[in-house]
Amino acid sequence: TPETHNDRLFSYSNDHSTPLPPKFDHLHAHSLQVYPTTAGKTVSALQGQFQQMLMRLTKPKSVLELGTFMGYSAMAMADGMPKGGVIYTCEKDPKAARLSRELFEEHAYSPSTTGKEVKRKDATIEVVEGDGMASLAVLAKRNLRFDAVFLDADKGNYVNYYNFILDNDMLTDEGYILADNVLFSGLVLNSEQRKRDAAAASASSSSSSASSSTTTAFSKGKGKKGKNGEAWGGDTFQKFADHIDTFNKHVRSDPRVDVVLLPAFDGLSLIMKKRQ
């Protein structure tokens, strides 16, 4: 596939940014070995660098992550956190939970159970294994609150995660939520069109007013693979985008928060409580 203008701007941006240390490249390579078809789920190196800088800029003491995968984003964030910081990261896949836990031990983000001596990092990472909603309930019972939340698990549950966190007062007053993939490869544009089409079709009983949805370069079913290796046809993929579009509209109309949808990477929303 030929490199697009956006690809070249991304490479340029990457080349003019301070790289993360080599262990992060190794982790990307390792993920590709363990999950050959789905390793791309991890954030890019440049996004990891951005999230690390965001940590340095905002100094959260307590961070929640939904979606650990192999621990790349967690480690990138941890290295930017202040001394004594903790990341709680939730993962449903038992294999990913186990492997990331091992990596966090090996790289000294958690107390060693192997007796191997390593200099402890400033921040600690705790993996919470299980379904994200169940894990949130457990964390709420422990009365934990978070200065920063990174939403990066199953897209269909973004609204549920978001509501649970706000309804249960798990976000500190000056805390923020960062939600990943909120442009979903551009497919959210199709979601809007589909919703307009559906509304038009139900308004007029003559179905001729329903136009076909916008086709983007991304919507042509490039044969992306899902977590368990199942092929993501255009339609499965589009359904995730529809969930994301619903999430974006939900947040935008929620009177409790302010949101900025940053058109960078695959779309990153920054969400904070409105000021009193």
Ligand X SMILES: C[S@@+](CC[C@H](N)C(=O)[O-])C[C@H]1O[C@@H](n2cnc3c(N)ncnc32)[C@H](O)[C@@H]1O
In the complex, least distance from residue 18 CB atom to ligand X, rounded to whole angstroms: 19
Which residue, chain included where needed, has tokens 């928060």?
257
Q: Could you give the maximum distance between any two Cα atoms of the chain, in Å?
A: 72
264 binding partner (options its own copies, ligand X, none; Cβ < 5 to 8 Å by kind) = its own copies
Is residue 259 involved in binding its own copies (CB under 8 A)?
yes
DSSP 8-state assignment for residue 80: T
Query: Exposure string (b/e) for 118-152, b if CB count within 10 Å is 16 or more?
Result: eeebebbbebbbeebbebbeebbeeeebbbbbbbb
Beta strands 62-66 and 146-151 are parallel
Which residue, chain included where needed, has tokens 């031990």?
105
Per-residue interface string for the shown chain with its own copies, residues 160-199, x marking contact by CB under 8 A: --------------x-x-----xx--x-xx--x-------
Q: Which stretch binds ligand X (CB under 6 A): 149-157, 171-179, 208-216, 236-244?
A: 149-157
Q: Name 256's Cβ contacts closer than 8 Å, sequence gap at least 6.
A: 166, 273, 274
Is residue 42 involved in binding ligand X (CB under 6 A)?
yes
> Residues interacting with ligand X, by CB under 6 A?
41-43, 67, 69-70, 72-73, 90-93, 96, 131-132, 152-154, 157, 227
> Residues interacting with its own copies, by CB under 8 A?
5-6, 8-10, 12-18, 46, 49-50, 53-54, 56-58, 174, 176, 182-183, 186, 188-189, 192, 216-217, 248-249, 251-252, 257-265, 267, 269-270, 272, 275
